[in-house]
Structure 1
């Protein structure tokens, strides 16, 4: 059976999109190749005509997820006057908490990535460096570059940990409080660097 030109590329893109969401929702360990392919509407047997290994798919799917989050954060920042507060509030929102499949890779997979292949860890490291630079750029220019970088790193680490805790607890009121306290803590860091 012959397929139209571009069919293989479109199929690969569909696999990556499905994997990007499923990995963030269920985790790397719980996302087998057969399940990922089935979610994409394909058979397990076709996997290796698109990827050399599960690690190759994971790396590409996580890269896709990182790009999605970068676009999301950029659009939140661009559409608000107080860019950094808007980004923090969007990240620590009930919507982000309740929809990990469309959210931040660090907030869903950081512990698993720490135990993954060097290629996946390198890609993740580059994305974190990019996020630190982006957050640093939203902090007051009156602070030193070192101070902005330090606060940006603390904001990223804090928000990542807070979203993980908010997702992990089984008490919705406590989960909401974790998100609210996280926003307050991050904004305290911003005010401290602004003084």
Structure 2
């Protein structure tokens, strides 16, 4: 069967999109090529006409996920008057906690990324630096650039751990408390540098 022009590119994008969500939902280790291809509505045999290896797919899928999260955070910030608080509340929300497949890559996969290829770790590192810079830009301008960067880094590390803990516990009330306590701590930390 002969496919029309652009079919292979569209299929490639669909595989990357499905993998991007599935990796964040199930983890890298639990996402095999056969399962990823089946989720994309394709057979395992077609995988190698799109990617030279599973690592190549993981790299592309994580890059797509990082871009998606960057756009999500940017959208949240742009559509709210208090950009910093809106970003923190969106990140530490029950919606984000309950939908890892569309959420933060660090919150879903940081421990696995730490054991992955140098290329994936380099891409992830660049993304974290971009997120630190973006969050620092939302902190009070009265603070020094170094203070804003330091607080932004602490907040990103803290919120990543908070979302992981909120997802891991089996008590919804405790999970909600983790999120709410995290929001309060982040807002307090941000206020402390503007004094």
**Could you state the TM-score of these two structures normalised by the residue count of structure 1?**
0.99
Root-mean-square deviation (Å): 0.5
Gaps of 5+ in 1: none
Provide Cα deviations, 1:115-141, integer angstroms capped at 9, x if missing partner: 000010001000000000000110111
Moved over 6 A (4+): none
How far off its partner does 1:142 sit?
1.3
**2:76 alignment partner in structure 1:** 76
| Counterparts of residues 142-181 of structure 1 (less than 5 Å) | 142-181=142-181
**2:63 alignment partner in structure 1:** 63
1:47 aligns with 2:47: yes
**1:32 alignment partner in structure 2:** 32
| Counterparts of residues 91-106 of structure 1 (less than 5 Å) | 91-106=91-106
- Secondary structure of the 1:143 match is coil
Cα distance in 2 between the residues matched to 1:143 and 1:43: 55
Cα distance in 2 between the residues matched to 1:65 and 1:41: 20
**1:134 alignment partner in structure 2:** 134
Cα distance in 2 between the residues matched to 1:194 and 1:102: 33
Cα distance in 2 between the residues matched to 1:185 and 1:94: 17
How far off its partner does 1:185 sit?
0.6
Cα distance in 2 between the residues matched to 1:144 and 1:81: 22
- Secondary structure of the 1:77 match is helix
Cα distance in 1 between the residues matched to 2:49 and 2:133: 37
Gaps of 5+ in 2: none
**74-83 or 137-146, which moves further after superposition?**
137-146
Cα distance in 1 between the residues matched to 2:24 and 2:183: 23
Kindly tell me the number of residue pairs found equivalent between the two proteins: 195
**1:124 alignment partner in structure 2:** 124
- Secondary structure of the 1:180 match is helix
**1:86 alignment partner in structure 2:** 86
Cα distance in 2 between the residues matched to 1:179 and 1:93: 7
